[in-house]
Amino acid sequence: MAADSPQFQIGGHVEVTSPVHAMRGSLFPAKIVAASADRTKFTVVFNKVKTKIYRKVTGHKALREEVHVALLRPLPPREKDYAFKFSDAVDAFFAGGWWEGVITKVLDDGRFEVFFRFLKQKFEFEADELRLHREWVKDSWVPPLREEERDVSNTKEDKTQRKEDIGAGTQVEVSNDEDGFQGAWFAASVVQVVGNDKFLVQYKSIETDDGKEFLTEEVDAQHIRPCPPEAVMVDCYGLNEEIDAFWNDGWWEGVIRKVLHGGRYKVYFEGTDDEMVFDHCDLRPRQAWKDRTWVMASQVAVLCSQSVGHLLVQIGCFMRPSGYLRMGGYRTSFST
């Protein structure tokens, strides 16, 4: 989103996300009250999150914070008369914000059981506390709002176009669900489009058992993506930041667990439950291929060292009806 977007004006209502790994999928409603001269940073006042100074009884006041434009998005319109169903990706409103989850059960009393991956727990919500989950990508909602969705013929045309995105000769990356390879992407080129969303690829680094040539195999559309564009390299990566690490001929999805001296990092790989140390040059910012578009995995291109995410940590406190978070000289709470 460009900094001069009409979506982000003083007095406008927005949602603020966080680059902090533990808080991915959280969005907090706020109002813009000021902007920097270059309009790359905006001061916002949160609707529900409040602060209180220690040992003072002057009451609560809304949390005020300066955030980077990359952490903002417009308010999505609320879609009426939608019947939520099993497996819907949703946002649930609690603790002063919207949190990403998935419906795992439709209950008899009109409530819904929602599972949150970041907490690895399930909670129940009313329908009016839920909304369909959508990302804001290149000034559009992904997937599109229901009233903007195309008819069946256009959907069929779109699938054909998606297939044409990856053709013979396309440079791609391929993943594998086998034990020990979860979260790894290997460079390959497409030899042939087999049909029914299947592709014959030849790897650039994985050899056949006899070592005489590079391995060729058939993969499905769920395990192939175009090569990600070159991302702007950051000067340093932060704690809990999601990255890809180059190891064993591929790029492996990991999380920074410790920042070491000399531009080195200890990286944890959830797919294999391993930790390894890497140099800065062996890492790249994580990008995700979603709906034919590359987006930063953290949902921001620029990470802010001081953001709402750093004030709203310790997710467990959010589950209390009147929980408080103690940060520095402030006690941060939420209201519902």
Residue 256 and residue 243 in contact, taking contact as beta carbons nearer than 8 Å: yes
Q: How far apart are CA 208 and CA 39, in angstroms?
A: 53
pTM greater than 0.85: no
Residue 193 and residue 199 in contact, taking contact as beta carbons nearer than 8 Å: yes
Q: Within 10 Å of residue 229's Cβ, how many Cβ atoms?
A: 7
How confident is the prediction along the chain (336 residues), in pLDDT tens digits per residue?
Answer: 444 556 788 989 999 987 665 566 689 999 999 999 989 999 999 887 655 444 344 445 678 889 898 889 998 877 777 899 988 889 999 878 899 888 988 998 889 999 887 777 889 999 999 999 988 888 888 888 765 444 433 444 444 434 457 888 899 999 988 888 888 999 999 998 887 788 999 999 999 888 888 999 999 988 999 988 776 566 788 888 889 999 999 999 999 999 999 899 999 998 888 999 999 999 998 888 876 777 765 543 333 333 444 434 433 444 333 333 333 333 444 444
Q: How far apart are CA 236 and CA 233, in angstroms?
A: 8
Alpha-carbon torsion, ordered 315, 319, 324, 328, to 10 deg? 0
DSSP letters spanning 195-211: SSSEEEEEEEEEEPTTS
**Burial of 59 per CB tally in 10 Å (0-12, 13-18, 19+):** exposed
